[in-house]
Structure 1
Amino acid sequence: MKNKRRIEVLNEKIDDLCKGYDDIPWGKNEYLAQDKEKFELIYKEIKKIKKQEQKYSCCYCNVSLIESHEMIIDVEHILPKSIFNRMTFVLDNLSISCKRCNMGIKNDDLSFFNKNKSEFEKINDEKKVGLSSDYKIIHPNLDNIYTYVHREEISIDGFKLTLFKLNSNGKGKYHKSYFQLGEITRSCLDAIQGIEPRKNYLRASSIDLLKGDDGLVHR
């Protein structure tokens, strides 16, 4: 009940922040000076709520974030706010993730989304995340990651070897490939052998596909 009330209060603050704007800005620097502080406070509250919901783990690779500094824990927008700006504060579209999965891999990519570009404007206006079947990846709020993928860590001579066990194919297999979870295991094996761990995860941004000749995003 306590968390439910916190969410109700948070949504009231969100409504107050967005009042008076024709379109919802997705970055604090896009708000009027008097609203920037409100933006920061809302994001802090979102992070608190989502950390508790996710048991302080990355929503994609399930790495523990308990000992991580706040600066490296991201408020993750499953549908990127740079494309779906009205989803900026939709809690069903929000989660927390590590920098590797968010900034290093997913970023603004939408290749995992089973919707056409022609549908983006409607989705943005309605502010609805849709169904689990609309996503090829394991959706942090529509799916249970443990149904598909289980992360295990084994200690070997002071090193942690991370393994990912697929509990089912389909989404689990795609999710493991998309977030390059096998690379985490390979990096652990490299470190155990005294080899510099690899960090070659990169993905093109889908936002570039939406840009017109004027350089602006057209949904």
Structure 2
Amino acid sequence: MDFYTCEDKEIISECILKGHLSWSDEKIKDLKVKIKEELKKRQKNVCCYCLRSFHGEFNFVIDIEHILPKHKYAKRMFDSNNLAASCKRCNMKIKGRRIDFLSGIFNDEHTPYHKDGYLFIHPNVDVFEDHISYIHNQKGRDIIVKYDILNNSAKGKFSYAFFRLEKLSVHTYNVAQGIVSDEDEWQGDPDLDDDDDNIAETFSKIEDSIEQLISVFAQ
């Protein structure tokens, strides 16, 4: 995905020098729009992690996902192999800044995008459908999705557990049966557009509050 213009590359170089917080700079707003559109086309308008469709969705519910989190791997912030389009559930609610999907042979300096460096299905160096089958059935207003691990795939098993794909299947079944479920619900600001610094701060406050409550009850 080498669609960056010379002007884009100059801006990107400046951003990388400034660090990951530059992702929120106003000057790259238009560039991020362009990146998101390219990613959606590359992925045929589905989430990179759960394969659910983006068709008809507003852009603010679709994130530019940094597979290697930008706060830790700022130099990879604009690498096409490190970028993907993700739904907010997979990106914000589940993955966030986690790096426990990296294997023991991951090498950021020499082979950052080698498929064996990742325990889950990497959106750009693996093919999701080689590891997990995804079935989407819709009858009228009822939608059911189903995931099956193929050939006992280790990456398939890891992704299935990591992104809680079974819960998505159960969620869609529950909704089809009229049972209330919030599995797919994101309570944050939809305009954050993968601003994981704000998200991390929010979750940190929640975790602090929980720890305080636990300490009070423990006394």
Q: Under TM normalisation by the shorter chain, which class is it? A: 0.7 to 0.9
Supply the RMSD in Å over aligned alpha carbons: 2.9
Q: C-alpha distance in 1, partners of 2:30/2:9?
A: 14
Q: C-alpha distance in 1, partners of 2:9/2:37?
A: 19
Q: C-alpha distance in 1, partners of 2:95/2:184?
A: 14
TM-score w.r.t. the length of structure 1 is 0.75
TM-score w.r.t. the length of structure 2 is 0.75
Q: C-alpha distance in 1, partners of 2:23/2:103?
A: 31
Structure 2 counterparts to residues 145-156 of structure 1, below 5 A:
145-156=128-139
Q: Of 7, 31, 34, which aligns to 1:13?
A: 7
Between the two proteins, the alignment pairs up a number of residues equal to: 188
Structure 2 counterparts to residues 1-219 of structure 1, below 5 A:
7-8=2-3, 10=4, 12-19=6-13, 23-28=17-22, 36-37=26-27, 39-115=28-104, 123=108, 126=109, 129-156=112-139, 158-168=141-151, 169-199=153-183
Structure 1 portions without partners, runs of 5+: 202-206, 209-219
Counterpart secondary structure, 1:76: strand
1:217 aligned partner: none
Query: Sequence identity, in percent?
Result: 25
Aligned residue identity for 1:151: Y
Decide whether the 8 Å contact of 2:120 with 2:155 is kept in 1: yes
Structure 2 portions without partners, runs of 5+: 186-199, 202-219
Q: C-alpha distance in 2, partners of 1:130/1:165?
A: 26
Decide whether the 8 Å contact of 1:87 with 1:127 is kept in 2: no
Do the aligned partners of residues 78 and 65 (structure 1) sit closer, same or farther apart at CA in structure 2, a change above 3 Å counting?
Answer: same
